[in-house]
Structure 1
Amino acid sequence: MTPRPLEPLIDESEEWSAVHWWRLELRSLDEAENTQFTLAQLGPKEAWSTEWGGRPTGASCLRTLSYVVSLTAPAVAAFAMGRAQAFGDHLPFALAGILVLISLIVTLQGEWSLYRRPRSIAASVVRKIAIVHIVPAVVVVVVGLMGEHQHPGQLLWLLPSVVDALVHVWQLFRRPGGQDGPRNPLDNLTLSVAEIAPEVAERIVQRRNVAIRMLHERGRIDADTAERAIATGLGHLALVMAPEACSNFYPPSAWERQPQ
């Protein structure tokens, strides 16, 4: 996408606040959407809702839709099987199998993305997603085995539920990227920055530093602050200049507990 100009943000307010540092960096990362998204999770709502959350793209909408389908399809499959069993109807093996298969494809796609670009995922998120998949899978398999089926081939439609459950049980015990993989959101940010093409990274830093110099020239920040800001690495401007504005997703108090 075409990066938005940074100057309008500089002229937006007479006082330069902590949130403005986050907004400046998020806007400067328009050419690096993966890094922008990763950083947005660490920033205050006032920053990401303006600089990232309000700009959905076709790809992001499709990705969100696929996640929604992945989370809801197993539950719909379990409901269809349970309802048919309760009312004495023929069990919809094919429907349940297709729904779970679609969900499984999205899950495996996500695993492939994690294999290519390892990222840390909160354990609580992994547990919730696993429950949403494992419980419906167990329902589908149990109902399918206990219910009536016209021919043995119908039982093959239970296979996607078995595989889906096994994949999510495995996810509960594995860490993306292995033992040397990212452990927290700060590691995710570091990896994301490293994945930016060098010429794009250089262009982002240049635009960002020009904006910082403008801040000094227009009296929004002093010379020492400008010098410290320019010295920060790509993707870490807001974390260094305004850590107090971090979200509760991974607050500064958690940084201090990291092993050095």
Structure 2
Amino acid sequence: MNHTPTTDTTTTPAAVGLLAGKVAFITGASRGIGAAAARLFAQEGAQVLLAARTTDQLKAVTEDIRAAGGTAEYAACDLADGASIRAAVHHTLDRYGRLDVAFNNAATIVPPAPMDRVAEADLDHLYTVNLKGPWLAMTAEIAAIRATAGTGAIVNNSSIGSLIGNPALPAYGAMKRALNSLTESAAISYGPEGIRVNAIAPGTTLTDMMYMWDQHSPGIIDQYNTRTPLRRAAHPTEIAQAAAWLLSDRASYITGATLPVDGGMHT
């Protein structure tokens, strides 16, 4: 089965930039959905700060954005290290003087297995990166938005696996479901200040993480495409488009939502 989306919106120009005039912070921005988001946000008018562990890849994406006429900087950031997260957010303020929006995209995965075969160390790693990491990032981002822009928006990258059970990735799904709860709580806490917090729940998306899973479990992409009404996987830019919209002023009355971006899989 063909895994390639029928459309790729990476070069489609926006009539009016969704994020014009905003400063955006993006974790996990060196590849996949995060890199697509960095390119798209810059194309939509934002000044972007890319954060991830892989400096070489961050530099390459940053240079691509600049070559296309965008404004971008990068900072090394490890979601397992709270000081590293705070330093990356502070670098955004040092470079641009403010923070308006943030996309907490970075995540990790462990080998697929039933719950009784997931190593305790893998569970701890998923907790540290996929739940504690976004918690720490949101704390730093909220403080930065509050101190500079005053109002803003945050989007957390969850997963369709947070909305439906997945026996192959039980711990991953559990952390993502907890992230949805954290998103809702933050939306309630910071809504009165004008800070919106939402999440997106991508379905099958053609990222390195998905290809790794397909190598471990051959045919899993095809299986999920069969279960998806649109009968295909998403391009990372399609997921980034949803995040950009939720971060933009066009979604100004939406907070506390977890938006499925899954081709109808969860329908």
Larger radius of gyration: 1
Structure with larger RCO (C-alpha < 8 A, sep 6+): 1
Q: TM-score, normalised by structure 1?
A: 0.27
Q: TM-score, normalised by structure 2?
A: 0.27
Larger helix percent: 1
Larger strand percent: 2
